Structure 1
Amino acid sequence: MHSKVNSHCKKEKKNVMMQEVKVDVAIVEEEEEQELTSMEELLERHNQHSDNIGKLVHSSLELQIENSNYVRLSEKFAEKSQQLRNMKGEELQGLDIEELHKLEKSLEAGLSHVLETKGERIVEEITSLQRKGDQLAKEIEQMRQQMMEMSKSQKHVVADSENMVYEGLSSDSVTSLCSFVSPTHDDDSSDTSLRLGLSLFR
């Protein structure tokens, strides 16, 4: 009887120990899971921080490049401004003989280019004026031809009108008209005949 009790107690202790072990395992698993989650969050924050650092470094490099370009352009602008003032004859005191010689050559080359360009412009203007003159002469000739055609047309109209007048008169009237305007009469009779002849057209 005593041995059965001891055996039962041992089983109970064993069960209790197993339960405790299960609880301990569950706690350990939960702790490990929490640690893994914390590690993942830590890694994610680290990656984000690394990305931010990379962006910052990239922005810093771009800023350095922009600053370098600005400095280079500023120096070039200052150099060109000084050259322009020298070409205007300003601030020549600081130039030595060699620099003055270079400036002289540069001005001579510039003047030669200016004269060449000026000559080209003059030739272009002369050519343009010649074209305009040729066009004007052509238009004048066309107007002259038109006026000649109009004059011919008017002569035809007058001739046709005279023919119509003569056709409207009898042969006797035409004979009388011709006798009135004949140059064999004296001045008085000529004037009278002319007046009578003109009255026939009214």
Structure 2
Amino acid sequence: MPTLLENGRPVEPQQFVVYYGSLLKDPSQTVPMPQGLRMIAGDAKKQVATPKGAVNQFYCAGGPQDGRTRSADGNWPVCEGGTLHFTLRFPDCWDGRHLDSPNHRDHVSFGQGGACPATHPVPIPALTFSIAYPAGGTDAGFALSSGLASSMHGDAFFAWDGEAMAARVKNCVVQVAQCNTAGQF
């Protein structure tokens, strides 16, 4: 994922949590991520405004979600009594054949209406990055090393131990249980 910059200086995340779960109506068919699966969420080349109410925008936690105001360019919340956050969700359906595609997207898809589309029939865990930054923002706003806030993106490459991934899918994702890092309730 790109680096957050405040006044040209990198801002290290204070917390980076990776969640595996299911957003589908029937999580019981979810299979472990196959070894070597690659995918991208977001778009590093997207350079459009993200005003208040935009999809996939940065938000404030611990205060008004849209901030007390917006930066001068309107793209960043100015958090009052809170910190800057971003939630990045990856596709949760796979075509069942390809571990990658030239654009790192065509072999995966987001579930639709609580199920996987026919073109990508294999449900895989819904991977979500939850990123918290120790910054509240100013009128000057922020930037990403990839450009505007709309360019937030993440890359994922799966090389889990097969048994460990299978156990977490069976015990946590399929059973819709909140598990810890060790895959235990």
TM range (shorter): under 0.3
- If you compute each CA radius of gyration, which structure gives the higher value, 1 or 2? 1
| TM-score, structure 1 normalization | 0.16
Higher strand share: 2
TM-score, with structure 2 as normaliser: 0.17
* Greater relative CO, 1 or 2 (CA 8 Å, sep 6+): 2
